[in-house]
Structure 1
Amino acid sequence: MQKIVEFFRACPAALAPLKADPSALGTLPTVAFQYCEAVRIASSYGWYVFPPADIVLRWDGNDVFYAADDEWIELKAIHLDQESVEYWDRHAPEDMRGYAPPFLSHLLIPGVVQIWSGFFVQTAPGWSLVIRDPANFPQSKSFRCFDGVVETDSFAPCPLFMNIQLTATDREIVIPRDKPLFQVLPVLRECYQDAALRDHPIIEFDTGDKGSSQITAAHWDGIRSTLRRTDAADAVSRSGTYGAQVRRRAKRED
């Protein structure tokens, strides 16, 4: 079977991407984990990606500083450590030596920091990567992640990084190494191209003076099977129905 995604570790200290977890690493409420298959699938789709080291930042509204050796240093662009630079130069061809990607960079926009995971990534032909914050996973209120879609089949192998916007000023912002910073999800390129998204028919319940409704008996059968009514007996009988259907279909397809 063709591998959809390949990760290239360019920094020895970098934690390997981790297959995303249906329980969001145990942070989902038990009821959601047990009964909401939609949440479980969204949580488990893709891989978690981690920063290669603990990060402590501070933003004064204009400049960004990072903590190093008990002092605050203004952030421009830094490498993780000398060992990671030497590792890169030892394995890189001659024309690429001295060009190891920086671990942390303060971009041109105030408070926006780029964090490199220590990995490069490549996808199979026709596949791209959605890069976003971890699904259904509690994140810090001190920063937010920027979502992106990268065509990692042709622009590849490309450095796997996340741009974050710092949102808290004049306080320490801690980004731990052992907590997922972002999540990557493979997606077929055709799914997000304009041609696939431009044509989206609207089926009207009531067409007014134009004639009868476009909703057919088959549509109502589908609505009847998906809509949970308010009576208790119906709610109990339908609880977990969607998840059971999805799991049965997955077993058949396997």
Structure 2
Amino acid sequence: MPEPLRDIGGSQTAPLLELRSVTMSFGGFVAINDVTLALEKKPVYGIIGPNGAGKTTLFNILSGFYRPKRGQLLFKGENMTHMRAEQFARRGIVRSFQITSIFPNLSVMDNVVLSVQCRKDGGTNALARSDWYGDHRQEADALLDQVGIPPSSREQPASDLSYGRKRALELAISLAAGPEILLLDEPTAGMTAADVSRITDLVARLSAERTIIIVEHNLGVIADVADEIIVLQQGALLTRGRYEEVRKDPRVIEAYLGKRQ
């Protein structure tokens, strides 16, 4: 049985994000099996588990890309179970992807300005350079400063960026949407050690202002950034807790290695 859910910080208010007995299946395959989770404001949550554990499916449910077959998803008490991904984003739940999702032929700056425009005008004429483009540019500059993309790179096509800086640009685009919850899907996949270090430092800074949920195979990154670890196995919640607790749990060791040590 999963361990009892714990409220970080002892808050008595409703959870920021909550799953209630959520199940997701594809044909006869159950990818998520009766998962209940309550997530609070501000911590960084890391989702881990062996291959096939259901991490990506859970991530897609949390961001509105999948609608569960059974159960409910609530954000600040509002039932979001049957809403679309864009409705999640408008309410402040924004995700990144394993593969960079940028507009390669637009400049680095225009990628971020476009995201700011979409947030501020709801997408109306978002591709047009409006009279207030300069205001958006100022905000975009601040976001690019935040993720460490230098001014010398901002007018070049996004396709010319290194892989690590493309991932940083994707983070800037996500931040431009004004997330209250930021979901990061494998943010350091394929990166050099230097790029991984920059991203982990950035995640730590970003977590001061929002809740971050991260799926990451690099357990070193999880150890560095996550306040609490959620462990899945075969679509079910195996356990959750601090990294040092989880890494010593015999059930987690068995799930990853197939045997107890």
Fold similarity call, TM over 0.5: no
Q: TM-score under structure 2 normalisation?
A: 0.28
Higher strand proportion (structure 1 or 2): 1
Q: Which has the higher contact order (CA 8 A, sep 6+)?
A: 2
If each structure's helix is expressed as a fraction of its own residues, which one has the higher value?
Answer: 2
Larger Rg: 1
TM-score (norm 1): 0.28
